[in-house]
Structure 1
Amino acid sequence: MSNLLFVALGSMFGGVSRYWLSGFIQKNFDTAFPVGVFIVNIAGCFLMGIIAGLLAHANVLTNNHRLLLAVGFCGSFTTFSTFSLDNLQLLSAKAYFLLSLNIGLSVILGLAATWGGYYLVQSLSK
């Protein structure tokens, strides 16, 4: 039961953070491109890389930390379900360039950010 509480607590903060940050960013950009969700996804990927690096190399996080931060917070903060909906809306609007840009940059930069966070922790823990 305590595992569920760690996931639930992390999810609550991750979801609220995603809602606030993506909305704040989107309000400050006058574009049809879903920049708020895009930035949150890349930041979440970087954070997930840091957490994975800490779990694998630094021995400072416990399983409860993993549940709270990786499963709960990042799982709720990174919004690939919203990402999919945004892409469906771009597709429906026949905004093919923005659709391709969002998918391509999210996948490539997300992977690069996850690797960057992981590598940062791996480098610092040597």
Structure 2
Amino acid sequence: MKSLLLVATGGAAGAAARHLLSQASMRWLGPAWPYGTMAANILGSLLMGALAGWLAYKVDGGRDLRLFLGVGLLGGFTTFSAFSLETALMIERKQFANAGFYAAGSVILCLMALFAGLYLARKAFA
């Protein structure tokens, strides 16, 4: 039961943070591109890498932190389903180049961000 509460609480906070980021990106950058989703996924990947590195090197009892921060908070913050929908909508609108750039760019940038987070955590905590 404790693990469920950790994940649920973290997930709620992550989803709220993602919503705020999406709203801010719409105000600042407009609706022409899914900036909020891409930013959430890249930032979430960076933070996930940093979290994994931190938990691997420095934390005793990291299970609860992994559940709250990794599964809950970052799981609620990042959004593969929104990414998939936005890509599909671009394809339906025949915006094939945009869909390709968005899909490839999201995957590549998220992987790069995750490795950057791991690298930073290893440097900071190893």
TM-score when normalising by structure 1: 0.95
Superposition RMSD in Å: 1.2
Q: Write out aligned runs for 1:87-126 (5 A).
A: 87-126=87-126
Deviation at 1:104, TM superposition (A): 1.0
Aligned to 1:57: 57
Deviation at 1:35, TM superposition (A): 1.0
Residue 30 in structure 1 maps to residue 26 in structure 2? no
Deviation at 1:8, TM superposition (A): 0.3
Equivalent residues of 1:25, 1:35 under 8 A apart = yes
Give the secondary structure class of the aligned counterpart of 2:29.
coil
Q: Deviations over 1:14-73 (max 9, x none)?
A: 000001112211221135221111111100000111111111122256211100000001
User: Structure 2: where are the runs of 5+ without partners?
Assistant: none
Give the secondary structure class of the aligned counterpart of 2:94.
coil
Aligned to 2:46: 46
Return the alpha-carbon distance in structure 2 between the equivalents of residues 97 and 27 of structure 1. 25
Residue 12 in structure 1 maps to residue 24 in structure 2? no
TM-score when normalising by structure 2: 0.95
Aligned to 1:79: 79
What fraction of aligned residue pairs are identical, expressed as a percent? 37
One-letter code aligned to 1:41 = N
User: Structure 1: where are the runs of 5+ without partners?
Assistant: none
Q: 1:12 to 1:99 in 2, by over 3 A?
A: same
Deviation at 1:125, TM superposition (A): 1.5
Of 89-98 and 3-12, more deviation after overlay is shown by 89-98
Deviation at 1:98, TM superposition (A): 1.0
Give the secondary structure class of the aligned counterpart of 1:32.
coil
